Structure formats: C-alpha cells, structure tokens
C-alpha cells in the first residue's frame, strides 16, 4: 500500500471533524489521507468510524510532539489546515513555510478574526508576527463565507485563491425535518449566543432585554464551551439578576438530537457576535423557520443577504418594543428552502470533492 499523500491538520477533535470524516468515508477511499489532531480534547469513547480509521488518525498530546512529524512532513503531496491554530505551533509553521506552499487553509472564522487580538499583549503580538509571515504563503484559502477570505487578503497581503467549502453541520437535516412544529401561541423563547466566548457580547443583549423583564418569556444561553470561567459566571449572574428562572444557562454540551430539539423550541435567536461565528447553528435555525438577529457589519450577515435569506438587524432589539422583536414576517418562509439546498449532503460532498480533487 502506498504511503498517505495527503495530511489533514486539525486543532482538535470536534463534532464537525467527526461529521466530515463520516461524510468522506461514505463516498471516497481515505487510504491516501492522514488526519492529525492536536492540542485539544481527545474523545475517550471512540466511535466505530474512529476505530475503523484508527491507522489514519494521529493525536498530538503537546506542542513538542509536532517534532515527531517533522521528518515525514515533506513527504505529503498536499496539506490541509482545518483551522489555523492560535498557539505556539505558529512558530513551527513559520519555520516550515516552504511546506505551506503546497497547502490549503480551511478557515473556521475565529482563526481569521484573531487579527483583532493582535495588540492585546506580548503573546498576541508574537503570534501576529508569525501569522503575517505564514498566511501570505498559503496558495489557497477555503471558506464558506467568501468575505472572510476578502478580509484575509486585505489585512495579510494574501493573493490566495478562494475555494468555497462547508463543513457538514453536526445537526442532521433529517433530524430537523422530523421535529414536530412548535405551537407558536406559547411564551416566546430566545436563544442568546452559541458559546461562552466574549465575542457573543451577551451582556449587551441582556441589558437590551432588561426593560422587558416583566414579560413572560424564556432565554436559553449556551455556555458549555469557550471563554473563561469568570466571564461565563458573569453572564449567568447578570442573566439571573434580571430574569430569574426565565434565564436558563446551558453549561453542559448537548448531544446532537437534544440540541436539535432545543433549536426547535426556540422562536428568536439573538446572535450578537462581532465576527463570523455560529454558522451551523444559524443555518439550522433558519431552516426551522426561526427569526435570527445578527450584527449587520459582519461577513456572515452579507453572506445570508447574498443567499436571499431573511435575517434581522440586532440593533433593532435595543430600540423597538417587545412585540416587534418577536413578530414573524411572511418573507421568513423562504429561509427553509434556501438552507435546505445549502445543507444537502450532495452539496457538502460536491464542495469537498471539488477541493480534494484539485490536488
């Protein structure tokens, strides 16, 4: 058997990486592919797919283990970076820039907008020094939202070719199709953000809704990952202070079926991120016919407008009355059909095969 020709570098294992491997394994041979997961959590309970692909999966426990792949790094025909880690591995890739000339950076969002942390402290300035020398070397950048690549080109002197790509959303479309439609006559249910990352700006929206604390509604607030413990607790304390039991923090990860059921219960999603984020959640919510608020100055907002999806300006939440915030409009009905075409397995497969067959 020939040695693997293609190396896939992931920051860590996730539901998204598992969904991608499952998709590819169903449709193509992975004999020529190797998957490297580094520096994040490792699932102790291995799925059947992971066991099947165990000879193709390498887990890196700490940055020094990267040195073990150094001698084999240049044997690969092409390297796919599934997220550009914001950590000491930037030094490693800086020292091996030549390898990047035959690679594709597949962006996730946060790895693009780390740009905004560049002057925070000495560590971020050091990381930015390496990023400015690494990013222009990538000949290709794959992204779902083309505006993210435009941002990279503008800020990092990149001439990379844009390739459209989309990770399979862990929330199964068939599961969403089979979820009973919620009775719309109950109390409104909000979803606030998607994680404990401060880029959700939870407190800003909690403050905007505080004037409605006498109204009957619920707020689900996912806080199971991202951010610091102190920030997570600040969000919980503030939400509880204003809304009591109506504010429901979600501090544990839900399985995909439970999360799909949660999304079906939601009426309005308040996504106050200051950068492209939570794309999978937003797609699922739009498919389910939910009202989604976004900032209008982020790339994902322009993406949805370009796709003719109906999304709303989150600044309105600060200025209009409660009935206006929760009111649905007839043009929201187009979202489900548009998103169904995006989340279709055939679309995922077409995009990934288009990328992989280039090399």
Tell whether 118 and 187 lie within a shared domain. Answer: no
Mean pLDDT on 315-323: 94
Is 309 in contact with 269 (CB distance < 8 Å)? no
355 in a structural domain: no
- Please tell me whether residues 98 and 210 are part of one structural domain: no
Rounded percentage of the chain residues whose pLDDT exceeds 70:
90
* Beta pairing, strands 189-192 & 218-222: parallel
Same domain membership, residue 339 and residue 212: yes
Q: Are residues 55 and 139 in the same domain?
A: yes
Picking from 133, 168, 203, the residue at the C-terminal end of a domain is 168
Is residue 358 assigned to a domain? no
* pLDDT value at residue 349: 95
Inside any domain, residue 69? yes
* pLDDT score of 182: 63
Confidence class for position 356, pLDDT limits 50, 70, 90:
very high
* 295 and 279 housed in the same domain: yes
Q: pLDDT at position 45, please?
A: 47
Is residue 279 one of the residues assigned to a domain? yes
154 and 207 in a single domain? The answer is: no
Question: CA-to-CA distance for 100 and 97, rounded, in angstroms?
Answer: 5
For tokens 């091996």, the residue is 96
- For residue 348, tell me if it sits in a domain: no
Residue 131 belongs to domain with CATH number: 3.40.50.2000
Based on the fold, state whether residues 121 and 212 are members of the same structural domain.
no
CA torsion angle for 337, 339, 343, 344 (degrees, to 10)? 20
Q: What is the mean pLDDT of residues 236-260?
A: 91
The Cα 141–Cα 20 span in angstroms is 18
Among 258, 256, 267, 266, residue whose Cα is nearest residue 326: 267
What does the pLDDT average to over 255-281?
88
- The predicted pLDDT at position 255 comes to 78
Q: Answer yes or no: do 156 and 53 share one domain.
A: yes
Between 181 and 233, whose confidence is greater? 233
Lowest average pLDDT, out of 274-278, 307-311, 351-355, goes to 274-278
Q: Is residue 351 part of a domain?
A: no
Note whether residue 353 is domain-resident: no
d(CA 221, CA 250): 6
- Provide long-range contacts, Cβ within 8 A and 24+ apart, for 153-156: 155/115, 156/115, 156/131, 156/132
Number of domains in the chain: 2
Q: Is the domain of 48 the same as that of 180?
A: no
d(C-alpha 320, C-alpha 85), whole Å = 40
DSSP string computed for 13-79: --HHHHHHHHHHHHHS--TTEEEEEESS---SS--HHHHHTGGGEEEE-SGGGGHHHHHHHTT-SEE
Instruction: Please tell me the predicted confidence (pLDDT) of residue 227.
Output: 83
- Whether the model clears a pTM of 0.85, i.e. scores above it, the answer is no
The number of residues in the chain equals 359
Q: Do 162 and 207 lie in a common domain? A: no
pLDDT value of residue 292: 97
Residues 317 and 182 occupy one common structural domain: yes
Q: Domain span at residue 215?
A: 173-343
Q: What is the largest CA-CA distance in the chain?
A: 68
The three state secondary structure string of 202-215 is: HHHHHHHHHHHCCC
Indicate if 231 and 325 belong to the same structural domain: yes
Which one, of 38, 35, 41, 34, lies nearest residue 15 by Cα? 41
What pLDDT was estimated at residue 347?
Answer: 92
**How many CB atoms sit inside 10 A of residue 258's CB?**
11
Residue 1: inside a domain:
no
pLDDT in tens, 34-50: 898 875 554 554 455 66
């Amino acid at each position: 058997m020939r040695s693997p020709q293609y190396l896939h570098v992931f920051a860590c294992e996730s539901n998204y990486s598992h969904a991608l491997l499952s998709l590819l394994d169903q449709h193509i041979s992975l004999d020529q592919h190797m998957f490297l997961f580094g520096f994040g959590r490792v699932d102790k309970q291995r799925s059947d797919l992971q066991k099947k692909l165990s000879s193709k999966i390498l887990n890196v426990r700490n940055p020094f283990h990267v040195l073990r792949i150094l001698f084999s790094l240049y044997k690969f025909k092409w390297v796919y970076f599934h997220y550009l880690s914001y950590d000491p591995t930037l030094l490693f890739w800086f020292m091996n820039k030549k390898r990047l000339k035959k690679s594709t950076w597949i962006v996730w969002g946060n790895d693009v907008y780390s740009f905004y942390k560049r002057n925070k402290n000495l560590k971020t300035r050091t990381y930015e020094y390496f990023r400015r020398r690494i990013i222009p070397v990538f000949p290709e950048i794959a992204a779902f939202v083309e505006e993210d690549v435009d941002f990279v080109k503008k800020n990092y002197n990149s001439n990379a070719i844009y390739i459209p790509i989309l990770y399979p959303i862990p929330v199964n479309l068939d599961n969403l199709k089979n979820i009973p439609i919620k009775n719309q006559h109950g109390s409104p249910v909000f979803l606030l953000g998607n994680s404990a990352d401060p880029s959700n700006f939870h407190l800003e929206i909690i403050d905007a809704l505080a004037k409605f604390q006498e109204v009957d509604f619920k707020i689900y607030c996912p806080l199971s990952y991202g951010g610091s413990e102190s920030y997570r607790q600040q969000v919980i304390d503030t939400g509880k202070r204003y809304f009591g039991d109506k504010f429901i923090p979600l501090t544990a990860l839900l399985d995909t079926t439970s999360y799909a059921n949660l999304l079906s219960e939601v009426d309005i999603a308040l996504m106050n991120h200051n950068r492209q984020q939570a794309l999978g959640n937003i797609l699922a919510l739009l498919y389910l016919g939910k009202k989604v608020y976004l900032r209008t100055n982020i790339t994902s907002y322009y993406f949805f407008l370009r796709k003719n999806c109906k999304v709303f300006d989150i600044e309105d939440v600060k200025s209009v009355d409660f009935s206006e915030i929760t009111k649905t409009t007839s043009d929201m009905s187009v979202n489900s059909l548009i998103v169904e075409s995006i989340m279709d397995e055939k679309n995922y497969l077409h995009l990934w095969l288009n990328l992989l067959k280039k090399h």
